[in-house]
Amino acid sequence: MKKKLVVFSGAGMSAESGIGTFRDAGGLWEQYNIEDVATPEAWKKNPDLVTDFYNQRRKQVIEAVPNSAHLLIASLEKYFVVHVVTQNIDDLHERAGSSSVLHLHGNIRLAKSSGPNQEDRYYPIEGWELTANDKCPDGFPLRPHVVWFGEQVPALNDAAKIIQEADILVVVGTSLQVYPAAGLVHLAPGNCKCYVIDPNSDEFEVPSNFIKIKANASEGMRELIQRITD
């Protein structure tokens, strides 16, 4: 019976693919105000600005390629039942070959209706651009399928169940600043082997049982695989 390995990833996972993080020096939230581009109020106030912000990020995602950390995680499916729970809205885990990826904060390649009562209906975006003319079948403008600040995280319970059944939990590339997502690291069962991979892991607050690997995602994943296969 294969053990369950869960990866909980954040923006640092995609840094080596050239996609900037949010809170590192020069990160996205130094370039933009969250209130202007990543809240429901921002969408109501200036939908074109919000749509353009995500169009630019979608273009970058499409041009990016999975890095070796994404590929190593996908390769672990030979030895473990691997579930990826990601805060990232890029599709690099899927493009690397991971077969179980749960997006806590949405998926930039999908759109959803801005109208009421449209839960769980998503529309693939062809190419990088969503425009104001793109409407759902009910005639409401399409918006990026992204969980904005202040919105519910629909996949949270599913993510909690996955982490509660982990034999190995690998937290990689997240500053654990954003809740409720960050609270998931406390749900690993008592007998779970927990690791955190991050170049700044010595500045981290994680439960005391986490083993810290101070490295970037690719190097850290190589070291982790060494440790768990020894």
Residues 120-159 touching ligand APR, rule: CB under 6 A, are: none
Q: Is 14 in the site for ligand APR (CB under 6 A)?
A: no
With CB under 6 A as the contact rule, the residue among 82, 216, 221, 224 that binds ligand APR is: 216
CA distance 12 to 132: 31
With CB under 6 A as the contact rule, the residue among 12, 66, 141, 144 that binds ligand APR is: 12
DSSP-derived letter for residue 131 is -
Q: Do you find a cis peptide bond into 180, omega within 30 degrees of 0?
A: yes
Residues 18-57 touching ligand APR, rule: CB under 6 A, are: 21-24, 27
Tell me the residue type at 139.
Answer: G
CA distance 214 to 203: 10
CA distance 167 to 35: 39
Residue among 23 and 95 whose Cβ is closer to ligand APR: 23
DSSP-derived letter for residue 180 is T
Among all residues, whose Cβ is closest to ligand APR? 12
- Expressed in angstroms, the distance from the first to the final Cα of the chain is 18
Residue among 137 and 150 whose Cβ is closer to ligand APR: 150
Residue among 133 and 152 whose Cβ is closer to ligand APR: 152
CA distance 67 to 74: 11
Among the residue ranges 9-17, 90-98, 108-116, 128-136, the one whose residues contact ligand APR (CB under 6 A): 9-17
Taking the complex as a whole, how short is the minimal distance between the CB of residue 168 and ligand APR, in angstroms? 18
Strands of 68-217, DSSP E: 81-86, 101-103, 106-113, 122-124, 142-146, 168-172, 193-197, 211-213
Taking the complex as a whole, how short is the minimal distance between the CB of residue 24 and ligand APR, in angstroms? 5
List the beta bridge partners of residue 171. 8, 196
Residue among 27 and 115 whose Cβ is closer to ligand APR: 27
With CB under 6 A as the contact rule, the residue among 6, 7, 16, 195 that binds ligand APR is: 16
- Our CA dihedral for 112, 59, 20, 39, rounded to 10 degrees, sits at -30
Residue among 113 and 201 whose Cβ is closer to ligand APR: 201
Catalytic site residue from 103, 105, 145, 186: 105
SS3 of the chain: helix, strand, coil, percent, to 5: 35, 20, 45
Q: Is 105 labeled as catalytic in the residue annotation?
A: yes
Among the residue ranges 13-21, 51-59, 111-119, 120-128, the one whose residues contact ligand APR (CB under 6 A): 13-21
Burial of 37 (0-12, 13-18, 19+ CB in 10 A): buried
Residues tagged active-site: 105
Applying CB under 6 A, the residues found at the interface with ligand APR are 10-12, 15-16, 21-24, 27, 87, 105, 173-175, 177-178, 198-200, 216-217
